Amino acid sequence: MKIISFFNHKGGVSKTTSTFHMGWKLAEKGFRVLLVDADPQCNLTALSLGYTDDEDIEQHYQNFPNSDLYSGLKPVIDGQLRGLDPATPARTANENLYILCGNIALAEAETQLSVALTTRQAIPAIRNLPGSIGHLLRLTGEEMKADYVLVDLSPSVGALNECILMASDHFIVPTAPDFFCVQAIRSLSATLPRWHQEVAFFRDPALMYPIPDEPPVMLGFLSQKYRPRNGAPARSFQQWIDKINDTVDESLVPALAAHKMIVSRRRFGMAVGNTEPFNLANIADFNSLVAQSQKYSVPVFCLTDAQLEQTGRILETMQESRDEFNLVFDGLADSIVALTA
């Protein structure tokens, strides 16, 4: 079982849709997949289960009290020293795909985690908090015999993300072609190695829930949300995609390589092929397909002709886009399987 987190502290880079689409495609290929909504906004929960408002999610908590991340962690958050139990993920419309739901109350755990990370001589209950999240994910994943656990992290550099990412086996960085994403990658070059060093104390095997000894390994990044022209990114987007490629190669890769937090170029090349270094895939903007995907709670590549709800040339264009996205995510899934084998 592999835990893969999708992380970029710059918002609007399609982390949630990438997690959902990647999870569904892996499940389509026969893998058992657990999605984890670690963002208090709960967008992955709503997308995966077809919920349209807060009342739907609140009703879900009442009907399935142990199906969200916060409920699973609550014994540790409350200071109890008893062992955690596996959560009970909700099943999606795909029989191989489950989700450990999000909860707005996760934001409340942020302060406790921050205190735990900065107060190393804290009482045992607090010391066990940083590693408890990863322990719950592994416990739950193993209970349901998952092959992959895919985690949708919030766009922040808070303690919750730090603890989850450092408990992961791998991570992927979704990007969008703009100036702010270039800045975010430069920031990650400093943030991620610092997190690795900050959690060293919590790798102590004497703790009830130690963080894994080995840091997470970056599999690569995704270039997303560009508008294509003749099958390739339009020039204005390509300029920023090139800048992101350069920034990853010149800043992020050496920073992570110094801590063994990135796959080797050779391994990446063998698994993914001759693309830009560490660029897992180019994924164009979903445009009008995204509304239909959200409406029916399925990935864009699974939308039926009837669900596209169009006719004539518009329908043909949407069909072509749908099929192209299917090929892109099929290749991406194969790359992830090869990189994590």
Which residues on neighbouring strands pair with residue 4, listed in sequence order?
150, 170
Domain definitions of the chain by residue range: 2-340
Q: Check pLDDT > 60 for residue 238.
A: yes
Q: Are 92 and 48 in contact (CB under 8 A)?
A: yes
Q: Given this model, what pLDDT does residue 240 score?
A: 82
Average the pLDDT over 104-108 and give the result. 89
| Residue 233 confidence class, pLDDT cut points 50, 70, 90 | low
Q: Given this model, what pLDDT does residue 153 score?
A: 97
Q: Are 226 and 177 in contact (CB under 8 A)?
A: yes
What is the pTM assigned to this prediction? 0.95
Q: Given this model, what pLDDT does residue 89 score?
A: 98
pLDDT in tens, 50-60: 998 888 888 99
pLDDT in tens, 119-151: 866 677 788 899 999 999 999 999 999 999 999
Q: Given this model, what pLDDT does residue 13 score?
A: 84
Q: For residue 212, what are its two tokens?
A: 């894994």
Q: Given this model, what pLDDT does residue 285 score?
A: 84
Pairing of strands 33-37, 90-91: unpaired
pLDDT in tens, 174-229: 998 888 999 999 999 999 999 999 999 999 999 999 999 999 999 999 987 555 55
DSSP-derived secondary structure for 141-174:
HHHTT-SEEEEE--SS-SHHHHHHHHT-SEEEEE
Length of the chain: 341
Q: Given this model, what pLDDT does residue 236 score?
A: 66
pLDDT in tens, 268-298: 999 998 678 899 998 988 888 999 999 999 9
Average the pLDDT over 14-30 and give the result. 97
Give the CATH number of domain 2-340.
3.40.50.300
- 3 state SS of 341: coil
User: How buried is 109 (Cβ within 10 angstroms: 0-12 exposed, 13-18 middle, 19+ buried)?
Assistant: buried
- Which segments of 80-128 does DSSP mark as H helices, in order? 106-118, 124-127
Closest C-alpha to 11, from 133, 181, 125: 181
